[in-house]
């Protein structure tokens, strides 16, 4: 039996996932969480009694009202626990920064919420064995990155550019990512070169147009 924890801040999404997965004889839902932190706590409490976590990437405060945590950071925390379950990301977001962040955090799969039920069921079964499961569009984005590595932004560069898009200064970006301002500036030079941009604003615009942010 594959034991699944649902982690999503929307109750209606959890209901939909439960409806699909409960129809399968080899899958059972053992818990739900409406914040990323609650998902980590549930795994800590359940020990080895969870096989797969279905993890959203962006959470609201939920009923607990605690400080927000992303699904990627929660995934990283879960994967550091003893005998952790595998994490399958199920989200609406398919930008490079989201995909790479989840994969580098340790997620074994990445599905979009518009995936057909059969694809979700197959992905859960694959995740339970540690196999990779990707939505077609996500796999295509990763393949394009591999085909054009010279122009692809690294995960760190994507983090820097996302903070630029959020309106952060170089000093604030450095403080957030534990980098010196000189290192932040170096990343920005590389970002502009790869994107053919001449300013922070044009770099952000180019990245959004390319689906990176």
Angstrom distance (rounded) from CA 5 to CA 42: 8
Question: In the predicted model, is pLDDT for residue 87 greater than 90?
Answer: yes
Fold entry, domain 2-135: Rossmann fold (3.40.50)
Q: What is the pTM of this model?
A: 0.73
Kindly list the domain boundaries of the chain, sorted by start residue: 2-135, 155-209
* Span 19-34, average pLDDT: 95
The closest of 52, 65, 180, 152 to 109, measured between CA atoms, is 52
Question: In the predicted model, is pLDDT for residue 144 greater than 80?
Answer: no
Among 37-51, 78-92, 193-207, the minimum mean pLDDT is found in 193-207
Helix crossing, 170-177 with 155-165: angle to 10°? 130
Residue range 155-209 forms a domain whose CATH class is mainly alpha
């Amino acid at each position: 039996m594959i034991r699944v924890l649902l982690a999503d801040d929307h109750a209606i999404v959890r209901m939909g996932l439960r409806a699909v997965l409960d129809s399968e004889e080899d899958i059972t839902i053992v818990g739900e969480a409406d914040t990323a932190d609650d998902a980590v706590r549930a795994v800590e409490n359940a020990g080895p009694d969870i096989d797969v976590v279905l993890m959203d990437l962006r959470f609201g405060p939920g009923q607990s009202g605690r400080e927000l945590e992303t699904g990627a950071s929660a995934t990283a925390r879960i994967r550091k626990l003893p005998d952790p379950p595998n994490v399958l990301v199920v989200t609406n977001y398919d930008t490079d920064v989201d995909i790479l962040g989840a994969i580098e955090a340790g997620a074994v799969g990445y599905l979009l919420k518009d995936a057909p039920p059969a694809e979700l069921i197959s992905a859960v079964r694959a995740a339970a064995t540690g196999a990779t499961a990707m939505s077609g569009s996500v796999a295509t984005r990763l393949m394009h990155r591999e085909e054009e590595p010279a122009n692809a932004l690294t995960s760190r560069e994507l983090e820097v550019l996302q903070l630029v898009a959020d309106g952060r200064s170089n000093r604030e970006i450095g403080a957030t990512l534990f980098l010196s301002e000189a290192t932040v500036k170096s990343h920005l030079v590389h970002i502009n070169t790869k994107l053919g941009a001449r300013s922070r604003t044009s770099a952000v615009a180019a990245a959004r147009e390319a689906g990176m942010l």
